[in-house]
Chain A
Amino acid sequence: MKFDKPATNNPIDRQQVVGRPHDRIDGPRKVTGTARYAYEQHDVVPNQAYGYVVGAGIAKGRIASIDYETARKAPGVLAVVTAKEAGNLKKGKRNTAPLLAGPEVGHYHQAVALVVAESFEQARAAASLIKIDYAAAKGAFDLKAAKDKAAKPEGDDPSLDDTHVGDFAAAFARAEVKLDETYTTPDESHAMMEPHATLAAWEGEKLTLWTSNQMVAWGVTDMATTLGIPKENIRIVSPFIGGGFGGKLFLRADVLLAALGARLAKRPVKVALTRPLMINNTTHRPATIQRIRLGATKEGKLTAIGHESWSGDLKGGGPELAVQQTRLLYAGANRMTAMRLAELDLPEGNAMRAPGEAPGLMALEMAMDEMAEKLALDPVAFRLLNDTQVDPEKPERPFSMRRLDECFRIGAERFGWSRRPARPGQTRDGNWLVGFGVAAAFRNNLVMKSGARVSLDAGGVVTIETDMTDIGTGSYTIIGQTAAEMLGVGLDKVVVKLGDSAFPVSAGSGGQWGGNSSTAGVYAACVKLREAVAQKLGINSDEAVFADGEVRAGNRSLPLASAAEGGPLTGEDTIEYGDLDETHQQSTFGAHFVEVGVDVATAETRIRRMLAVCAAGRILNPKTARSQVIGAMTMGAGAALMEELAVDKRRGFFVNHDLAGYEVPVHADIPHQEVVFLDETDPMSSPMKAKGVGELGICGVGAAVANAIYNATGVRVRDYPITLDKLLTRMPDAA
């Protein structure tokens, strides 16, 4: 189905199932521990052996020698895989660094070897017996030091280009009120709860991989490239994924090494990355240095908006797209953005939840708060004053739907924003200095091609098959709701099968495109199935109404199941998109409101209240969508207050590479969270009229926390995370 005209009325609009807060259909399995993740597929293939990964102990250089004779002879050991045994491997196009080192080492904890043994304990013990001598080379590990050598990112992608609209330099020079500040965000880790894990089994030339991957089809393609085997010989199965956040978008070392280990040991092999290996072995969100310049009239109209960002990555990698929201969020005639990329030898930088916008808004929305203060304007009023209904770079191009102003107004009312003291450091509650902060949330809505197959059996059961993944987002449930709505049955009559490359290729889970795109693919397949059903029942499919387990047309009413009496009926299709995302800017919007308390003596920050008001098209399931938003708010709170990969700038690695050193929010850090969704449908996005919501919640929330800390204390910290050591010496007098 080609979606190239705005959606008109369709069966989804009935909202008998879609749009309702159904419990997750996979919920009972998850809460009883019976949902099986990658490392837990004990019964799919017999005789499984265990693999244990050894990571490189240097950041850059060569392996001078590697001695694994002792390890190979250790009890229970079946095989040792190094680059030598692996033979000629190519690199998938989505990996920057090779997944297996040797002899070159590209980053710290890059995989060097896999030990395969009868048991986990044996593999781990033997791995410790491998002796590796390295010839370390000098590397670049310090973004600040490398900043001046950073270059314009290479590539054809227009999102990498410098942008210029009007005359930024002149407008900024003559602006009545100006801000020119630099902000930094640190390297961050996805730190999903389930480590990357894979069980690999060969059957002749055929390779099956039970793994934990957000993008099944990408995994198949990149694995085929890496091993140099046909795609058709690879099957990836990924039914449950214990969190991804972008960290499981791509093929990682567990997949490759499990396959290589299984080939060498002639046994199925399962491999999980150990927690201390994950952070340096896999990808992370790169640190940024961001300079923001704002110029405005005395009345608060922005006349000049400039945003530059510096980030680093391995050679061949890309920049953090931290300026992208600045091109679209606020009006202003004169604007510029630029990104510069430094070559660093730290582990590979890549996408983490809302890449670009998450760190970009942490800077931009703090700058907006600072500018509001310079203008003596309320931060909400300042933002409303510079709102736009069109793409500020191309005024002829409207937003498909943009209700940012309502998000702010409703949020301000609900939060009691009017109680915020304009002057910081004014509100005291016992030992706590109390402050309010606000920030805009903004994230583009991306539409992706997505396929599905839907079948109906004689029992009236509807089964959906698509390689779409559920990484906690609720895909199982919203896909089930979509099919139930389209075919007029209850959710109890729907079976959803996901995450298998044997199924039609979907959008996958990333960039908050999965919910809208994958359900639109299911919609398309259901349209096909409805046609097949109507034809079978001798009904005109244009007139057919599917409801209550029946198909109705005119005076006729037939049980849906009766269409499959002669055998199951199947509909399969793929949703594809025209240019509606080019003629119209499709984005999602929100307003974050945060109240913090900062201890007057210790400068410890506690978040007391959080509210997000979001406008993101049709909300397919308010319960699971709300969970996406509160989860993203939680991750954003971590980014504001605690998350930072500490770089060892001499040896070139992230020092705090486990969950004790890399602090993420825990229960005690997060208060009750409130989320409001505006009631809307966006006919430009898809037949579902939905948009992404999974990343919107993290966008801007870090700045809202930071702005609340400023309002509480009068101390502005532009260097995230805002830990107490950065506040302590500048705190107001405790007395």
Chain B
Amino acid sequence: MPTPRELDMNRRDLMVVAGACAAFPATVTGTRAQPAPSGKPVLSEVSFSVNGQSYQLELDTRTTLLDALREHLHLTGTKKGCDHGQCGACTVLVDGQRINSCLTLAIMNPGAEVTTIEGLGGVENLHPMQAAFVKHDGFQCGYCTPGQICSGVAVLDEIKAGVPSHVSADLTGAMAVTEAEIRERMSGNICRCGAYSNIVEAMTEVAGRRA
């Protein structure tokens, strides 16, 4: 669900990366000429924080944010369901906004503040959204679940911030957490086990508690 705000953010991020070599030598270094397919991999350094902890990584430039989290930081709560932006299982929050972490390279996120499912809460201190998913059985196999929960948290924030969706009757007025709004905004997160009805109940409860 693109919104003007997100598009602005994306454009700025792209410009940051494009100009990274000159403008941010401390953050992104080691850029060389475009390698031949069989040439040596290009490594770049990138720094960002994940769940409040800072990381400085030297990564293959082809490494997605998703694989940086899963394979390099071993934060495997973020799932790889399709690896090309079709399923939403890899949803994380970057600077407070939800994105598909498979669709952004790690080095495109210098200085970013990333929040993953592990950052929302742990087994002993569940985030209200996590607790609501357990209570309402908003999952079955559990593989799409971290993405659903990250999206769910961000959706409630988006509605609160007045970001409209396809089903919003008034694009500039106040938004309400309706079931139609939740279903529309959550539609980028596929659950093949079909827990949708329960996920809507979980999110509705959390929204009510917050209101």
Q: How many residues of B contact A (CB 8 A)?
A: 67
The segment from B10-18, B26-34, B196-204 found at the interface with A is B196-204
CA distance A666 to B185 in the complex (A): 10
- Interface code A91-124, partner B: CB below 8 Å = 1, 0 otherwise? 0000000000000000000000000000111100
Q: A194-B81, A630-B195, A660-B86 are in contact. Are A26 and B71 (CB under 8 A)?
A: no
A659 x B143 contact (CB < 8 A): no
A32 x B122 contact (CB < 8 A): yes
Give residues 33-91 of B contacting A (CB, 8 Å): 37-41, 60, 62-63, 67, 70-71, 74-84, 86-87, 89
Number of A-B contacts (CB under 8 A): 210
List, in ascending order, chain A residues with CB within 8 A of B191's CB: 193
Q: A42-B74, A242-B141 are in contact. Are A658 and B84 (CB under 8 A)?
A: yes
**Nearest Cβ in chain A — how far from B205, in angstroms?**
14
> Which of B74, B84, B184 has the most C-beta atoms of chain A within 10 angstroms of its own C-beta?
B84
A194 x B79 contact (CB < 8 A): yes
B141 x A633 contact (CB < 8 A): no
- Contact check: which of B134, B179, B193 meets A672 at CB < 8 Å? B179
B197 x A192 contact (CB < 8 A): no
A120 x B71 contact (CB < 8 A): yes
- Interface code A21-37, partner B: CB below 8 Å = 1, 0 otherwise? 00110111111111111
CA distance A190 to B192 in the complex (A): 8
Contact residues on A (Cβ < 8 Å of other chain), bracket: 35 or more
Q: A121-B60, A242-B79, A668-B184 are in contact. Are A30 and B196 (CB under 8 A)?
A: no
> Which of A122, A633, A667, A668 has the most C-beta atoms of chain B within 10 angstroms of its own C-beta?
A667
Q: Using CB atoms, name the residue of chain B closest to A119.
A: B60
CA distance A42 to B74 in the complex (A): 7
B133 x A31 contact (CB < 8 A): yes
- Interface code A626-651, partner B: CB below 8 Å = 1, 0 otherwise? 11101111110000000000000000
CA distance A642 to B146 in the complex (A): 26
> Any chain A CB within 8 A of the CB of B183?
yes
A665 x B196 contact (CB < 8 A): yes
Give residues 655-676 of A contacting B (CB, 8 Å): 658-660, 664-668, 670-673
B142 x A23 contact (CB < 8 A): no
> Any chain B CB within 8 A of the CB of A370?
no
CA distance A673 to B81 in the complex (A): 26
A667 x B79 contact (CB < 8 A): no
B190 x A40 contact (CB < 8 A): no
Q: A120-B71, A125-B37, A275-B83 are in contact. Are A672 and B197 (CB under 8 A)?
A: yes
B41 x A75 contact (CB < 8 A): yes
> Any chain A CB within 8 A of the CB of B137?
yes
Q: Using CB atoms, name the residue of chain B closest to A240.
A: B142
CA distance A659 to B90 in the complex (A): 14
List, in ascending order, chain B residues with CB within 8 A of A125's CB: 37-38, 41, 62
CA distance A194 to B190 in the complex (A): 11
B192 x A243 contact (CB < 8 A): yes
- Contact check: which of B39, B80, B133, B183 meets A272 at CB < 8 Å? B80
Give residues 342-393 of A contacting B (CB, 8 Å): none
List, in ascending order, chain A residues with CB within 8 A of B116's CB: 33
B38 x A70 contact (CB < 8 A): yes
> Any chain A CB within 8 A of the CB of B97?
no
Main DSSP-derived SS at the B contact region? loop
A667 x B184 contact (CB < 8 A): yes
B70 x A40 contact (CB < 8 A): yes
Main DSSP-derived SS at the A contact region? loop
A122 x B41 contact (CB < 8 A): yes
List, in ascending order, chain B residues with CB within 8 A of A70's CB: 38
- Contact check: which of A35, A36, A76, A666 meets B187 at CB < 8 Å? A666
CA distance A26 to B76 in the complex (A): 16
**Nearest Cβ in chain B — how far from A441, in angstroms?**
15
> Any chain A CB within 8 A of the CB of B101?
no
List, in ascending order, chain A residues with CB within 8 A of B195's CB: 627, 630-631
Give residues 1-51 of A contacting B (CB, 8 Å): 23-24, 26-37, 39-40, 42-43
**Nearest Cβ in chain A — how far from B91, in angstroms?**
12
Q: A24-B137, A39-B80, A472-B140 are in contact. Are A243 and B193 (CB under 8 A)?
A: yes
Q: Using CB atoms, name the residue of chain B closest to A37.
A: B143
**Nearest Cβ in chain A — how far from B30, in angstroms?**
15
CA distance A192 to B144 in the complex (A): 10
B141 x A129 contact (CB < 8 A): no
> Any chain A CB within 8 A of the CB of B161?
no
CA distance A275 to B117 in the complex (A): 23
Q: A32-B121, A667-B189 are in contact. Are A192 and B141 (CB under 8 A)?
A: yes
A121 x B190 contact (CB < 8 A): no
List, in ascending order, chain B residues with CB within 8 A of A516's CB: none
CA distance A480 to B80 in the complex (A): 30
**Nearest Cβ in chain A — how far from B133, in angstroms?**
5
B143 x A194 contact (CB < 8 A): yes
**Nearest Cβ in chain A — how far from B73, in angstroms?**
10
B interface with A by C-beta (< 8 Å)? 37-41, 60, 62-63, 67, 70-71, 74-84, 86-87, 89, 116-118, 120-123, 126, 130-131, 133-135, 137, 139-146, 149, 179, 182-184, 186-200
Known A-B contacts: A31-B126, A122-B41, A192-B143. Give 5 more (CB < 8 A): A31-B139, A74-B38, A76-B41, A195-B80, A630-B195
* 8 closest A-B pairs by CB: A33-B77, A634-B194, A242-B143, A472-B141, A472-B140, A30-B142, A631-B194, A40-B76
A interface with B by C-beta (< 8 Å)? 23-24, 26-37, 39-40, 42-43, 70, 73-76, 119-122, 125-126, 128-129, 190-195, 240-245, 272, 274-275, 471-474, 623-624, 626-628, 630-635, 658-660, 664-668, 670-673
